[in-house]
Structures are given as C-alpha cells and as structure tokens.
C-alpha cells in the first residue's frame, strides 16, 4: 500500500501543524495540571505545592492531599479526557457521523452492564468483586461490541446505518438489563447509580498505571489510521478506490476504541459529552485532517476534563457535583454554538 496515494489535496502542512499542536498541547497540559492542583476544598499555597512536588516539603497532611488525592485525580481526568476525545474523533471518522461519540456504539452500555453485574454479584454472593470490576467492564464492552458487530455486518460490509442502529439498540437492550439489576439490588444500588454518573474521586496511582498503557498505546495506534480515516471522509467508494479496507478499518478502530473506553470507563464510570464535543472543537481549530485533528482532540480532552473536574469538586465544596453534569453544562452550549456556526457558514 502506497501511503502517499491516500494523500488528499488541501491537507498540507500537517507536520508543522502537528508539531505546533504537540508543543502547545503539552505546555498547556502541564500548566492546567498545575492550576488544577491549586484548587480544592483545602487551600494549599502554590509555593507549598511546588516544594511538595520537588520533594522538599514533608508536611504529612499536605503531602497526602496533593500526592495521593488531588494529583492522581487530575492525571486520571487527563487520561480520561485523552481517551474519550480520541475515540470520539475516530468513531466520528469511521461512522462518518458528526453525532457519534465513544458511547454511541454500545461500548459504554456494555462496560456499564459489566460493572453493574460485578456490583450485583458482589452483594448477591458475598464475594468481594470490586478489584475485578474493570475486568467485568471490559468483558461487557467486548460483548456489546461483538453484538453490535454481528447485528450490523452484512456479508463483507459494515454498513453505516446498520452499525449506528445496532449500536443504539444494544445500548437500549443493555440499559434495560442494568435497570433490572438496579431494581433487584438494594445494597448495590448506590454503587451502581454512582458508577453510571461518572466519578473521578476514586482515582489512585494503581488505577492510573493500569489505564495509562491502553490509553496511550491505543491512541497512538489510532494516529496510524489517520490516512485511512481521511480517505474514508471522502466517501466509502472513494476510500475503496484509494485502497482502504473499510471493513478492516472499522473493525480495528472498533476493537481498539472499545478497549480504550472500557479501561477508562471501568474506573471512572460514564462521563458524557467530552467524546462528542471535543473532536468537533479540534476539527474547528485545525481542520479535518485526522493526522492533526486526532492529536489535537486528545490534547484538548486532556485540558477540558481536568478543568471540568476541578469545577465539579470546588463549586459547592465540600460537596461535589457529578462531573457528567459539568461536562454537559459546558459542552452543550459550545456544541450548539458550533452547530449554529457551521450551518450558517454552509448557508443552511
């Protein structure tokens, strides 16, 4: 396969854009992380935070608050932001649908069903299953992906409408089962509902170690599909002519995306809107070339989610607002604005 054959006219200067994006993005992530570190119910002086980070301060309480509670949470938010935005962008690409998000193909419903099953079984059987919850979530995500794929595939093709509809249907089906589990489980109810709302407060370094690999590696792999995604954005037939194996591409992005989302979502629960809105913002900023758009969207996600989480934990401190509410509250108006702008531009 000759890569240059997939080049699309107009997508020039991508190297320059990418390098700029990465430099700006990494810089912003560091700054945002540090800013977020400064906000919390307990105020710790920035100077003290610096010395805690350098290891020159030994205040036990502050060190616990910054190193074990606040920092892991921010890092987890960063990773989750990267994962949701990248997968959202890639899914929008393979589905050729601007309304696609990481959850639209049932991955989240599967992961949620897995997690809720684990919680349900824990209370029903008495086995302490919490440590295996991510495994359950991943299994659930895989199951949903398999179901969606099997329902959608027509011989050697994965038609778009079928894929979307089966994704939505599987989501409904799994949500129904989750509802039943919630109705049956009195003691687990609390944990389940909480999980479904999305929550970063349980982040710790162990979880981050587990999540980092699939997120970073998965998102890097997505980057190598950029050219194929670019070709696909021209249309299925055009992509076929350019030598893209659409079925394989969809399948791969599906599977890798589901692994990324399952690994993140099983620790954080369902955080909405990030995966839908951030890729659009990225597209608006750097254009539709996936080689630049996907990394930009990852970096924007890494900035957006820690900020939302910081708001979620400080606005009504010491109480917390579920992060899903904040992302939607900020995300929805931005999204509406973008949609309006685009439609007026196109003269619609």
Partner 1 sequence: MKFCNKLILTIAFLLLILSSLLSFSFAEASNYPLTIIDDTGSAITIPEEPQRIISTAPSNTEILFSLGLENKIVGVTNYCNYPEKANNVEKIGEMTPLNLEKIASLKPDLILGYGLYQLGEIAPLKEAGYNIIIIEPMTINETLKSIRMVATICGITEKGNSLVESLTQRINKIKTKTSNIDISKRPKIFIGGIYETIWTPGEGTLFNELITLAGGRNIAASLPGWAKISPEFVAKEEPEIIIIPIGAMGQVDESNIKENISKHAGWSNIPAIKSGKIFVVNEDLFYRAGPRLIDGLEKLYEIFYE
Interface residues with partner 1 (CB under 8 A) are 40-42, 61, 64-65, 68-70, 130, 183, 186-187, 190-191, 194, 199, 201-202, 204, 313, 317-320
Nearer to partner 1, 11 or 123 (CB): 123
Nearer to partner 1 among residue 296 and residue 327 (C-beta): 327
Of 103, 73, 92, the closest CA to residue 258 belongs to 103
Residue number, 64 or 339, with CB nearest to partner 1 = 64
Q: Which residue has the tokens 């890798």?
A: 256
Residue 29 CB, shortest distance to partner 1, in Å, is: 22
Distance, CA of 261 to chain centre? 6
Q: How far is the CB of 230 from partner 1 (least distance, A)?
A: 42
Q: How far apart are the two ends of the chain, measured CA to CA in Å?
A: 39
From the list 116, 271, 270, the residue with the least C-alpha distance to 187 is 116
Contact 113, 177 (CB under 8 A): yes
Q: How far is the CB of 33 from partner 1 (least distance, A)?
A: 17
Buried b (16+ CB within 10 A) or exposed e, 67-84: eeebbbbbbbbbbbbbbb
Q: Which is nearer to partner 1, 130 or 245 (CB)?
A: 130
Residue in 211, 208, 205, 197 with CA at minimum distance from that of residue 320: 197
Work out how close the CB of 94 gets to partner 1 at its nearest, in angstroms, rounded to a whole number: 35
Q: Which is nearer to partner 1, 185 or 297 (CB)?
A: 185
CB of 325 to partner 1, least distance (A): 14
Nearer to partner 1, 317 or 339 (CB): 317
Break the chain down into helix, strand, coil percent, rounded to 5: 75, 0, 25
């Amino acid at each position: 396969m000759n890569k240059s054959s997939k080049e699309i006219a107009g997508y020039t200067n991508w190297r320059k854009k990418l390098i700029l994006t990465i430099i700006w993005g990494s810089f912003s992530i560091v700054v945002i992380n540090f800013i977020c570190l400064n906000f919390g119910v307990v105020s710790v002086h920035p100077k003290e935070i610096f010395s805690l980070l350098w290891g020159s301060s030994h205040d036990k309480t502050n060190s616990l608050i910054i190193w074990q509670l606040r920092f892991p949470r921010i890092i987890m938010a960063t990773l989750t932001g990267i994962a949701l935005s990248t997968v959202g962008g890639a899914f929008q690409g393979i589905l050729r649908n601007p309304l696609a998000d990481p959850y639209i193909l049932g991955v989240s419903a599967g992961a949620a069903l897995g997690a809720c099953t684990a919680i349900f079984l824990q209370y029903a059987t008495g086995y302490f299953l919490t440590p295996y919850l991510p495994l359950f979530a991943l299994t659930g995500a895989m199951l949903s992906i398999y179901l969606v794929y099997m329902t959608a595939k027509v011989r050697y093709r994965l038609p778009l409408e079928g894929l979307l509809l089966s994704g939505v249907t599987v989501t409904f089906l799994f949500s129904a089962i989750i509802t039943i589990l919630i109705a049956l489980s009195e003691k687990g109810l609390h944990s389940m509902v909480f999980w479904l709302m999305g929550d970063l407060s349980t982040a710790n370094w162990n979880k981050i170690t587990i999540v980092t690999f699939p997120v970073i590696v998965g998102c890097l792999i997505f980057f190598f599909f950029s050219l194929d995604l670019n070709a696909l954005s021209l249309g299925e037939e055009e992509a076929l002519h350019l030598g893209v194996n659409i079925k394989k591409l969809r399948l791969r992005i599906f599977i890798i995306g589901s692994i990324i989302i399952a690994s993140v979502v099983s620790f954080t629960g369902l955080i909405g809107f990030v995966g839908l809105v951030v890729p659009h913002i990225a597209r608006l900023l750097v254009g539709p070339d996936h080689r630049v758009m996907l990394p930009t969207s990852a970096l924007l996600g890494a900035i957006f989610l820690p900020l939302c989480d910081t708001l979620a934990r400080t606005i009504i401190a010491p109480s917390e607002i579920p992060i899903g509410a904040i992302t939607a509250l900020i995300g929805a108006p931005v999204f509406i604005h973008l949609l309006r702008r685009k439609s007026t531009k196109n003269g619609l």
